[in-house]
Amino acid sequence: MKALRKTVAGPGVELVEVPDPQVGDRDVLIRVLRTGICGTDLHIDAWDDWAARTVRPPLVLGHEFVGEVAAVGAAVTDVRPGELVSGEGHLVCGACRNCMAGRRHLCVRTIGLGVHTDGAFAEYVVLPEANVWVHRQQIDLDVAAVFDPFGNAVHTALAFPVLGEDVLITGAGPIGIMAAAVARHAGARHVVITDVSPYRLELARKVGVSLALDVRTSAISDVYEELGIKEGFDVGLEMSGRPEALRAMTAAMTHGGRIAVLGLPAEDIPIDMARVVTHMLTIKGIYGREMFDTWYSMSVLLQGGLDISAVITDRFGYLQHAEAFAAARSGDCGKVVIDWTRPTVS
């Protein structure tokens, strides 16, 4: 089969022929239809310090996908050939304390699809049945392909109650924009998102944020009077991983404010701990999705009318993978999707 593979330690990936994956008794073989490019894939392609420490080539990349079940192992009971599925890319041990307690997203031995084991940038991918999410309702294939990052957005946006609250989001990447759409759909009073990219701020406006703020030219406090915010924001969603963003968010929270942090920093972040203490702020780290509560919430949100399709801005065929990666790396895009059923997309 064709696969996009990191063949050697170093920059770049190659489209090569590799053997079809083997299917165990509890596994599901999936014919990949579309995949989304994640920041993790960009790190592996660039072969930065994190990738060099984490990835062992050869490796097929990719963990955001939608596909059709091609075959199932002998012990698979609830997934059937022909069904449309996405997959949870965090593979857990099933035996640690958190797994046994039903908190699989906290597994201490989690490994990543497309990071530690061959992933979905290929014509076929294999996943354990326990990691397969069957789409029971009609869904756009592009949206289904980005269920993994959509899950990050939902997990973060709903980490704290947002009904009637003023929500601040720092970082208007695709996940931040999807989180803004979720918070608005879930009843937030105001949703303000910040970034330095005019393209992505404009994309955020398309999903209905109250304000999209360029922090190069405006301060967060400048929006208080316009929106009628008296004491600061109630809920913060930090999506950028930038030290200045977390510090600005901490300064903008009301007493008792709650912050969910998804953005992964590349360096230590000093913050005003005195303010955290005296304002009694809560800071919660978010990683991935809750299995499978978040996945259920995603499907229900879409069934309830949430539309995230505007976040998907670029589509390529599998032969155009270099162009797809370049588009994703440029930042002037939302989510970038590769169609594995077509060599090129005009």
Do both 81 and 159 map to the same domain? no
Alpha-carbon span 112 to 116, nearest angstrom: 5
What's the pTM? 0.96
Name, in order, each residue with C-beta under 8 angstroms of 228's C-beta and a sequence gap of 6 or more.
none
Do both 214 and 322 map to the same domain? no
Task: Give pLDDT, residue 266.
Answer: 83
Do both 126 and 213 map to the same domain? no
Do both 203 and 114 map to the same domain? no
Q: Which residues of the chain have pLDDT under 50?
A: none
> Which CATH number belongs to the domain containing residue 40 in this structure?
3.90.180.10
Task: Give pLDDT, residue 313.
Answer: 97
64 is in an annotated binding site: yes
Alpha-carbon span 330 to 138, nearest angstrom: 32
Asked if residue 303 belongs to a domain, the reply is no
Residues taking part in catalysis? 40, 43
93 is in an annotated binding site: yes
Domain boundary among 242, 270, 285: 285
Q: Which long-range contacts (CB under 8 A, 24 or more apart) does 138-142 make?
A: 139/84, 139/302, 140/309, 141/33, 141/34, 141/66, 142/34, 142/309, 142/312, 142/315, 142/337
Helix (H, G, I), strand (E, B) or coil at 98: helix
Q: C-alpha distances in angstroms, 75 versus 25, 59, 99, 130, 136?
A: 5, 27, 21, 12, 21
Task: Give pLDDT, residue 346.
Answer: 81
263 is in an annotated binding site: yes
Asked if residue 296 belongs to a domain, the reply is no
Asked if residue 227 belongs to a domain, the reply is yes
- As for how many domains the chain has, the answer is 2
Task: Give pLDDT, residue 236.
Answer: 98
Alpha-carbon span 62 to 121, nearest angstrom: 5
Task: Give pLDDT, residue 153.
Answer: 98
Asked if residue 329 belongs to a domain, the reply is yes
Are 94 and 120 spatial neighbours (Cβ–Cβ below 8 Å)?
no
* Per-residue model confidence as pLDDT tens digits over 19-37: 999 999 999 999 999 999 9
Alpha-carbon span 25 to 75, nearest angstrom: 5
E strand or H helix that includes residue 345: none
Alpha-carbon span 250 to 133, nearest angstrom: 36
Alpha-carbon span 154 to 159, nearest angstrom: 8
Task: Give pLDDT, residue 191.
Answer: 98
What SS3 string covers 121-139? CECEEEEEHHHEEECCCCC
Residue at token pair 């076929």: 124
Do both 281 and 331 map to the same domain? no
107 is in an annotated binding site: yes
β-pairing verdict for 84-87 and 124-128? unpaired
Asked if residue 160 belongs to a domain, the reply is yes
Q: How many CA atoms lie within 13 A of 311 on its CB side?
A: 30
Domain range spanning residue 194? 152-285
> Which CATH number belongs to the domain containing residue 174 in this structure?
3.40.50.720
Helix (H, G, I), strand (E, B) or coil at 228: coil
Alpha-carbon span 40 to 121, nearest angstrom: 13
β-pairing verdict for 132-134 and 84-87? antiparallel
Do both 60 and 10 map to the same domain? yes
Alpha-carbon span 89 to 59, nearest angstrom: 15
Do both 135 and 214 map to the same domain? no
Asked if residue 345 belongs to a domain, the reply is no
β-pairing verdict for 64-72 and 84-87? antiparallel
Asked if residue 290 belongs to a domain, the reply is no
Do both 245 and 263 map to the same domain? yes
333 is in an annotated binding site: no
Nearest-10 crossing angle of helices 147-157, 174-185: 50
Do both 131 and 177 map to the same domain? no
287 is in an annotated binding site: yes
Do both 138 and 167 map to the same domain? no
Do both 248 and 114 map to the same domain? no
Do both 117 and 8 map to the same domain? yes
Asked if residue 293 belongs to a domain, the reply is no
Strand partners, 339: 34, 317
264 is in an annotated binding site: yes
Q: Phi, psi (5° rounding) for residue 287?
A: -140, 115
Alpha-carbon span 155 to 289, nearest angstrom: 6
Alpha-carbon span 3 to 19, nearest angstrom: 9
* Per-residue model confidence as pLDDT tens digits over 213-258: 999 999 999 999 999 999 999 999 999 999 999 999 999 999 999 9
What are the start-end ranges of the E strands in the chain?
2-6, 14-17, 27-36, 59-60, 64-72, 84-87, 90-91, 111-112, 124-128, 132-134, 166-170, 190-195, 211-214, 233-238, 253-261, 282-285, 312-317, 335-339
